[in-house]
């Protein structure tokens, strides 16, 4: 079977799924001269130093993404291997915070940053990104779950997990919708509920008597999500 990159396959699949097309958040792009202009927002004093350290290492690795050291650092500081990374010239921290999750004792870490992004043949522009991280309790290291455009996470979660989307369509399409809901619940700190969505996606896979590559992809993603949550919570799902 011809191999396809996980990110490319995920993007194609989600674009094709009825009712599960990625909802693009409003652009956060503004023109800027030589450097990002946003000021650093007040940060919370209770931020876990090791969470911030991992986030800083991850962002530093992005600048050396084509080097062996950069690739090694990225592998050590991220949960998922299907993330895409923006090229940038400068970065400024706008805010950071710890947040509670739906699992007692498990917290998440969030950064919002502004990136100065080069544009071929034009002036660089500023775009805001958000970073979500959780601790790998087995390895005692914080890892980045995703680094993506700033979005209204609560609204995106509500849309992705709307009951009609999860209930309608053929089995593989519903499997994909459950995994999209699982992703946004992870972004929102609803880790336990994200795990439930992944398990339901696997139940749908088990009902499929003739799964195709798309269904097997979602099965792999669901298994990875469940294992990830086990490592975050230290408990079995």
Which domains does the chain possess? Answer: 30-149 (3.10.450), 153-233 (no CATH)
Residues 173-192 have pLDDT tens digits of: 999 999 999 999 999 999 99
pTM of the model: 0.80
**Helix H or strand E segment including 30:** strand 29-31
pLDDT value at position 43?
A: 42
CA 27 to chain centre: 18
| Arithmetic mean of pLDDT, 157-165 | 95
What band does 235 get if pLDDT is binned at 50, 70 and 90?
Answer: low
The backbone torsions φ and ψ at residue 101, rounded to the nearest 5 degrees and listed phi first, read -120, 180
Q: Interior CA angle at 215 toward 213 and 217, to 5°?
A: 65
Residues 72-84 have pLDDT tens digits of: 888 889 998 767 7
Percent of the chain with pLDDT over 70: 79
- 181 Rama sector, left if φ>0, alpha if ψ -120 to 50, beta otherwise: alpha
* CA-wise closest residue to 8 among 84, 79, 87: 84
| Arithmetic mean of pLDDT, 209-222 | 96
Residue 8 CA to residue 105 CA, distance in Å, equals: 35
| Arithmetic mean of pLDDT, 10-26 | 44
* CA-wise closest residue to 94 among 145, 128, 140: 128
Q: How many helices (H) and strands (E) does the chain have?
A: 8, 5
| Arithmetic mean of pLDDT, 50-77 | 88
What band does 1 get if pLDDT is binned at 50, 70 and 90?
Answer: very low
| Arithmetic mean of pLDDT, 225-230 | 95
pLDDT value at position 20?
A: 66
Which residue, chain included where needed, has tokens 């956060």?
28
What band does 236 get if pLDDT is binned at 50, 70 and 90?
Answer: low
Helices (H), the chain: 6-16, 49-63, 68-76, 153-160, 163-167, 171-187, 191-206, 213-233
Residues 94-150 have pLDDT tens digits of: 999 999 999 999 999 999 999 998 888 888 999 999 999 999 999 999 999 999 999
* CA-wise closest residue to 165 among 25, 14, 27, 26: 14
């Amino acid at each position: 079977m011809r191999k396809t990159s996980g990110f490319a396959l995920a993007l194609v699949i989600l674009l094709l799924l009825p009712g599960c097309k990625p909802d693009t958040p409003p652009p956060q792009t503004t023109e800027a001269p030589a450097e990002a202009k946003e000021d650093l927002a007040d940060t919370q004093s209770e931020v876990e130093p090791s969470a911030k350290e991992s986030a800083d290492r991850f962002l530093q690795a992005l600048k050396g993404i084509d080097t062996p050291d950069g690739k090694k650092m990225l592998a050590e500081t991220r949960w998922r291997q299907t993330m895409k990374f923006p090229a940038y010239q400068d970065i400024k921290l706008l805010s950071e915070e710890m947040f509670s999750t739906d699992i007692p004792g498990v917290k998440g870490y969030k950064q919002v940053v502004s990136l100065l992004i080069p544009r071929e043949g034009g002036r660089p522009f500023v775009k805001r990104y958000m970073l979500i991280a959780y601790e790998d309790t087995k390895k005692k290291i914080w890892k980045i779950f995703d680094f993506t455009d700033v979005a209204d996470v609560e609204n995106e979660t509500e849309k992705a997990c709307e009951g009609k989307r999860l209930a309608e369509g053929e089995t593989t399409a519903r499997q994909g919708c459950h995994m999209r809901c699982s992703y946004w619940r992870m972004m929102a700190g609803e880790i336990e509920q994200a795990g439930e969505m992944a398990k339901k996606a696997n139940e749908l896979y088990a009902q499929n008597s003739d799964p195709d590559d798309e269904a097997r992809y979602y099965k792999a993603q669901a298994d990875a999500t469940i294992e990830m949550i086990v490592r975050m919570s230290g408990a079995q799902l």
